[in-house]
């Protein structure tokens, strides 16, 4: 049996995110992304391409991932328009699939997630795909054993 199988296909509630200049600056510095202003406006910053990783995406009842110990297998983002400081973005995620695979040190769960961010007018700004890999010891503990 696959843990959280009943959650596959569910979509989280939307979570409001205010994109702050300071948060973009800290993230850009951490990933060595040059500070880029929007159209020469010095007080509006362009967010780095992977910035959506820092946003809140809501939750799905009966589904929670551990805070540490996961392996990030994949992460990609596609934009309909740039993300700027000052934007208000409503984010949610969908649990697309969970696949159990055998590894050298036990079974692993491959968790596929689709993330979406919309502006206040409900226009999509970006979407992203994530693959998280959970070693057996981690997912058995998190899912309450099997």
pLDDT at 146 over 60: no
Tally of structural domains, the chain? 1
Q: For residues 145 and 104, what is the distance between their CA atoms, to the nearest angstrom? A: 20
Distance CA 70, CA 62 (A): 18
The verdict on residue 36 lying in a domain is: no
**Residue 101 located in a structural domain:** yes
* pLDDT (0 to 100) of residue 39: 64
Whichever domain contains 69, its CATH number is: 3.10.129.10
Instruction: Examine residue 114 and state whether it is found in any structural domain, yes or no.
Output: yes
Q: Are 85 and 44 in contact (CB under 8 A)?
A: yes
Q: Which residues of 121-141 are buried (b: 16+ CB within 10 A; e: fewer)?
A: eeeebbbbebbbbbbbebbbe
> Residue range 60-68: average pLDDT?
88
DSSP element (H, E) containing 136: helix 136-142
In tens, the pLDDT along 95-109 reads 999 999 998 888 999
Is pLDDT above 80 for 72?
Answer: yes
Q: Looking at residue 145, what is its pLDDT?
A: 54
Do the domain assignments include residue 23?
no
Q: Classify residue 26: in a domain, yes or no.
A: no
Percent of the chain with pLDDT over 70: 92
* 100, part of any domain: yes
User: How buried is 106 (Cβ within 10 angstroms: 0-12 exposed, 13-18 middle, 19+ buried)?
Assistant: exposed
Domain contains 43: no
116 forms beta bridges with 92, 127
Residue 62, domain member (yes or no): yes
Under a CB-based contact definition with an 8 Å cutoff, are residues 98 and 112 in contact?
A: yes
Q: What stretch of H or E contains 29?
A: helix 21-30
| Residue span of the structural domain in which 85 resides | 5-18+50-142
pLDDT of residue 124 exceeding 60, the answer is yes
With a threshold of 0.85, does the pTM exceed it?
A: yes
pLDDT digits (tens, 9 = 90+) for 25-46: 999 999 998 877 666 666 788 9
In this structure, what DSSP letter does residue 84 have? B
């Amino acid at each position: 049996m696959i843990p959280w199988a009943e959650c596959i296909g569910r979509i989280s509630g939307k979570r409001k995110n205010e994109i702050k200049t300071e948060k973009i600056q800290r993230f850009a510095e951490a990933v060595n992304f040059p500070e880029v202003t929007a159209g020469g406006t010095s007080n509006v910053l362009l967010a780095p391409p992977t910035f959506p990783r820092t946003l809140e995406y809501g939750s799905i009842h009966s589904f929670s991932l551990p805070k540490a110990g996961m392996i990030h297998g994949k992460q990609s983002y596609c934009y309909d328009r740039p993300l700027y400081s000052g934007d208000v973005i409503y984010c949610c995620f969908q649990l697309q699939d969970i696949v159990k695979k055998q590894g050298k040190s036990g079974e692993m769960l491959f968790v596929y997630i689709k993330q979406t961010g919309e502006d206040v007018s409900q226009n999509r700004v970006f979407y992203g795909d994530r693959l998280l890999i959970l070693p057996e010891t981690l997912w058995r503990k998190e899912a309450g054993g099997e």
